Structure 1
Amino acid sequence: MTTYIVGVDVGATTTKFGLLTSRGEHREQWKIPTDKKNGGKDFPPQIIAGIEERFRKHGISKGQVLGVGIGVPGFIDEDEEVVSAPNIGWKSYPLQSVFADAFDVPVCINNDANLAAAGEHWQGAGKNEASTFFITIGTGVGGGMIVNGELVNGVSGTAGEIGHTLVVPHGRLCTCGREGCLEEYVAVKGLRRSLRDHLRNGMDTSRLHEDSDAIAIYEAAASGDALARHIVNEAAYYLGYALANVATMLNPEKIIIGGGISAAGDTLLQPLHLHFKRFVLKEADRKLALEPARFGNDAGIYGAAWLVMKRLGYFDGRRWPLK
């Protein structure tokens, strides 16, 4: 009998799903808009309904399901029971209980960036590496650290939160309440803020306007637009500064760059490498690789499945894929 794991990656705008067999094979992948109405309370039933519909579609009984892994953009208590995710509207929300009641299987929850880090470590760009740091850049900025095959959570679950490290003292106000966080300069909202600021200061552009999104900015930069290239270079500067500190402090074997913005490719990576090399301690850079995620924006699905398998003990001296 084939058994399955469900991986769920809850994002601020889109939630992605993966239905995987216990041999690591994708049966189906899909996504839905994240419903934040009513404080996000209407959304978990929609997630559950979507999963149940796929079970019916593929003729999967609940007895064939090993577990559900969920990544959320927020903070999870030590028992994985209560979730606080301001971008969704959840505040001390009992997400694990809701899903456990629906499926009667192990439900494992962690921060979305942590699980993206785990996904890349397990089957992606960090495979076979002992220690990796993963950064995801999109609507926000998050990060996760793997050391000796273990996910590092920290005493309060905030390990890896690179998006809320300070890069500009007394800089832009962040949603966390502090000023100058990396997220405010390199995430989607940060790029758009930079664009508006530069336009209002009189900088010229042939392709952009105040309502241009991050995709348009990177496309314009790739086409040679001077303002767009300036904005991307600014973002690469702050990102290189932050990642150089990560490399110097944590000394991982590999830093992996994922999330929606990673699709910009060399338009971002080339200036990022230049700034990173400028700031990093040379000894920390000697054996370090800096590269894009293999799974792009889908690493969290794999990481959510990894979390279930990890919890069930399938990586304790056993080989993957499962028999």
Structure 2
Amino acid sequence: MSKVCFGVDVGGTTVKLGLFQADGQVMDKWEIVTRTQEKGKHILPDIAASIQAKISEKAIEIQDVAGVGIGVPGPVKEDGTVLNAVNLGWGIFNVANELEKLTHLKVKAGNDANVAALGEMWQGGGRGSKNVVMITLGTGVGGGIIHNGEIITGTNGAGGEVGHIHVEDSETDTCGCGKKGCLEQMASATGVVRLAKKALELSDSPSLLRNGEISAKAVFDAVKENDALAISVAEQFGKYLGTALANVAAVTDPEVFVIGGGVSKAGSILIDYIKKYYVLRAFAACKETKFSLAELGNDAGIFGAAKLVL
């Protein structure tokens, strides 16, 4: 048998696992519940047991397993040390070493957003490129920077935390990180909703957004219907994110920005608004940077985790 490996993506509710061939072919994928009770002490033993069960089920020889890659929601240092994964109840400890002891396999660990970026570079929206920045627009704004095919982790595992770039001096609400005026407050799904609610308060013009529950999807659906107020919100969103990415490009000079997460389901119209302001503000050498939509969806994490060990 040719080499295989496991990719693990630990979320607050479920752990996604995948069994991969070395060429990126998925042989199997499944999920287990994330047991966060008792400070998350069951999570790694549950993952190890699930991997061992799959090795037995598929009759895989241990020497044919290249290793296990794991992405976790929190800063992860180069050596596999997690610096607090609050959603999981974990404090500071070396997740790679602990999982190695439990599985007797080589383990590499990374931050979940960084690992998802690696997955998109390998088999998704950044395929064919070695210098990729992925932006995940979900409840928050996540990011991952890939340079020459490698994740930029940084000293404290905080490389790629683009959601906490400061973009608005006048913001009075506090971001989840404790600061005010972060990109995450403006360009996440919740950020788009905040912008829309403010726009509705400040204007009495008719809008489709007055007819029901406001969500990022509702905003971009209204944009597609040529709703003037929704378009003004999309312009604001595009200005914040496009400007932030122009700043990121001045530091990292990627070949492609891959846009993922729930908000990206709006499709290419989303990229149009981001790119408009990106091009206005980007350093001349970076103006031609490509933009693409993520392709792997919820599987980006397991793909990237697998790539960590290959």
- Report the TM-score, using the length of structure 2 for normalisation: 0.85
Q: C-alpha displacement at 1:289, in angstroms?
A: 1.5
Q: What is the CA–CA distance in structure 2 between the aligned matches of 1:29 and 1:84, rounded to whole Å?
A: 27
Q: What is the CA–CA distance in structure 2 between the aligned matches of 1:306 and 1:17, rounded to whole Å?
A: 13
What amino acid sits opposite 1:79 in the alignment? D
Report the equivalent of 1:117.
Answer: 117
Whether 1:264 aligns to 2:253 is no
Aligned residues: 308
> CA 1:86–1:200 in 2, change beyond 3 Å: closer, same or farther?
farther
Report the equivalent of 2:134.
Answer: 134
Report the equivalent of 2:168.
Answer: 168
- Contact (CA 8 Å) 1:117, 1:145: kept in 2 or not? yes
The counterpart of 1:280, out of the listed 273, 279, 282, is: 282
Question: Which deviates more from structure 2 when the two are superposed, residues 191-200 or residues 300-309?
Answer: 191-200
Q: What is the CA–CA distance in structure 1 between the aligned matches of 2:125 and 2:45, rounded to whole Å?
A: 34
- Contact (CA 8 Å) 1:134, 1:255: kept in 2 or not? yes
> CA 1:194–1:65 in 2, change beyond 3 Å: closer, same or farther?
same
Report the equivalent of 2:153.
Answer: 153
- Report the TM-score, using the length of structure 1 for normalisation: 0.82
- Contact (CA 8 Å) 1:259, 1:296: kept in 2 or not? yes
- Contact (CA 8 Å) 2:77, 2:155: kept in 1 or not? no
> CA 1:221–1:29 in 2, change beyond 3 Å: closer, same or farther?
farther
Whether 1:298 aligns to 2:299 is yes
> CA 1:88–1:199 in 2, change beyond 3 Å: closer, same or farther?
farther
Q: C-alpha displacement at 1:7, in angstroms?
A: 0.9
> CA 1:23–1:147 in 2, change beyond 3 Å: closer, same or farther?
closer
Report the equivalent of 1:206.
Answer: 208
Q: What is the CA–CA distance in structure 2 between the aligned matches of 1:238 and 1:15, rounded to whole Å?
A: 33
> CA 1:247–1:58 in 2, change beyond 3 Å: closer, same or farther?
same
Report the equivalent of 1:249.
Answer: 251
**Structure 1 residue matching 2:166: 3-state secondary structure:** coil
Unaligned residue ranges in structure 2 (runs of 5+):
none
Q: What is the CA–CA distance in structure 1 between the aligned matches of 2:138 and 2:196, rounded to whole Å?
A: 16
Q: What is the CA–CA distance in structure 1 between the aligned matches of 2:52 and 2:229, rounded to whole Å?
A: 48
Aligned-residue RMSD, C-alpha: 2.9
> CA 1:128–1:266 in 2, change beyond 3 Å: closer, same or farther?
closer
Unaligned residue ranges in structure 1 (runs of 5+):
310-323
**Structure 1 residue matching 2:302: 3-state secondary structure:** helix
- Contact (CA 8 Å) 1:15, 1:32: kept in 2 or not? yes
Q: What is the CA–CA distance in structure 2 between the aligned matches of 1:53 and 1:72, rounded to whole Å?
A: 22
Q: What is the CA–CA distance in structure 2 between the aligned matches of 1:105 and 1:53, rounded to whole Å?
A: 14
Q: C-alpha displacement at 1:27, in angstroms?
A: 1.0
Q: What is the CA–CA distance in structure 2 between the aligned matches of 1:216 and 1:297, rounded to whole Å?
A: 22
Q: What is the CA–CA distance in structure 1 between the aligned matches of 2:216 and 2:50, rounded to whole Å?
A: 30
What amino acid sits opposite 1:268 in the alignment? L
Q: C-alpha displacement at 1:237, in angstroms?
A: 1.6
Percentage of identical aligned residues: 39
Q: What is the CA–CA distance in structure 2 between the aligned matches of 1:11 and 1:217, rounded to whole Å?
A: 27
Report the equivalent of 1:108.
Answer: 108
Q: What is the CA–CA distance in structure 2 between the aligned matches of 1:193 and 1:235, rounded to whole Å?
A: 11
